Structure 1
């Protein structure tokens, strides 16, 4: 673990925030508590890790913010008695790890240490994914469908048949899609879609 790791804690429960801060007192981890994602977003850190209470919204909001800023920080999700689905959803959204509360100082220190190691390996890939997701999120549902068709190698006519729209309408959606994504050509849009995990 690096000396004096900064851990930005996002949790709406004041008692739990205090308990986690106390749990890490005396460790090499400096905890900065925040009530919610919007409070953290106004004072976005340059580095460190985010420990985010998984309320079903906060993790996604912070990862979207990273895409807009073009700066990725490792996210560790946590919840009391999390379900498998909760953990999987958080990881698919972009969390690098997950821990169940209550946890001990030793447990969270180990997870933070592992998250830092993973961040070194996955950092640039996760940032590209966050950036790509923020660009894909600008698209309408129909534009995403057209993008998926284009990425699947379908012609405008075939995409039109699949979506029950005319090839000309597909062309319009395709042009709008490229503009919104800031892509100069279709192959760039496909690369962004792959990085955003919209297509595999």
Structure 2
């Protein structure tokens, strides 16, 4: 899937030159001359980032960033501005910006920043896909496998689980092996990490989800 860069800038000349630069290295650049227009268009799935001018008529860059956060969007944001005073820069980074570039900037500086942001977006997407796979494995566990899975990741031993379930240690050992295989876990530590990532247990105290 081709990476996308949303370019939001009210300066027509800057908008055109930035789009040309990005397209010259094979990126798909989508231009917007206003923050609200960008928000109205929505952000597609896939690796993407947004170049946001700080000062624009209507919604400025910081307001657009806040709106993205309220929507739950994790798209990496790179701010560009000719007015990079300290309070604005601090607000941008506190809001989760991955870079802040002062105008005028060199083409290479901008391209390096965009590539770093797209790499970050790709890693986040891959992580989300991996987590979805783990959750799907949990959902495919049988009720009895789940009865063993939860106390196992809470730190209980085979004998304790057997007593809790009223079965033999040998039976627990059998189901433990099945859980490890079905979850594709190479170790108990990895299984615990999967359970925490999925929210099946809490990291502190390893209490089961209610």
What TM-score does the superposition give when structure 1 sets the normalisation length? 0.52
List runs of 5+ in structure 2 lacking aligned partners: 128-210
| Structure 1 runs of 4+ with >3 Å offset | 117-124
SS in 2 for 1:106: helix
C-alpha displacement of 1:74? 0.8
C-alpha displacement of 1:103? 2.4
Instruction: Decide whether aligned partners of structure 1 residues 50 and 84 sit closer, same or farther in structure 2, where only a CA change above 3 A counts.
Output: same
Tell me which residue corresponds to 2:23: 25
Where does 1:15-164 land on structure 2 (aligned, <5 Å)? 15-47=13-45, 48-55=48-55, 58-80=60-82, 82-119=84-121
The alignment yields a C-alpha RMSD, in angstroms, of 2.6
Work out the number of aligned pairs and report it: 122
Q: Which has the higher contact order (CA 8 A, sep 6+)?
A: 1
Deviation track 1:96-135 (CA, whole Å, cap 9, x = no partner) reads 21112222332211101112334456789xxxxxxxxxxx
C-alpha displacement of 1:33? 0.8
Structure 1 CA distance for aligned equivalents of residues 4 and 119 of structure 2: 15
Structure 2 CA distance for aligned equivalents of residues 65 and 9 of structure 1: 16
Look at both structures and tell me which one has the larger radius of gyration over its CA atoms: 2
C-alpha displacement of 1:12? 1.1
Instruction: Decide whether aligned partners of structure 1 residues 22 and 104 sit closer, same or farther in structure 2, where only a CA change above 3 A counts.
Output: farther
Structure 2 CA distance for aligned equivalents of residues 80 and 33 of structure 1: 19
C-alpha displacement of 1:7? 0.7
Instruction: Decide whether aligned partners of structure 1 residues 120 and 25 sit closer, same or farther in structure 2, where only a CA change above 3 A counts.
Output: closer
Structure 1 CA distance for aligned equivalents of residues 60 and 16 of structure 2: 19
List runs of 5+ in structure 1 lacking aligned partners: 125-200
SS in 2 for 1:24: helix
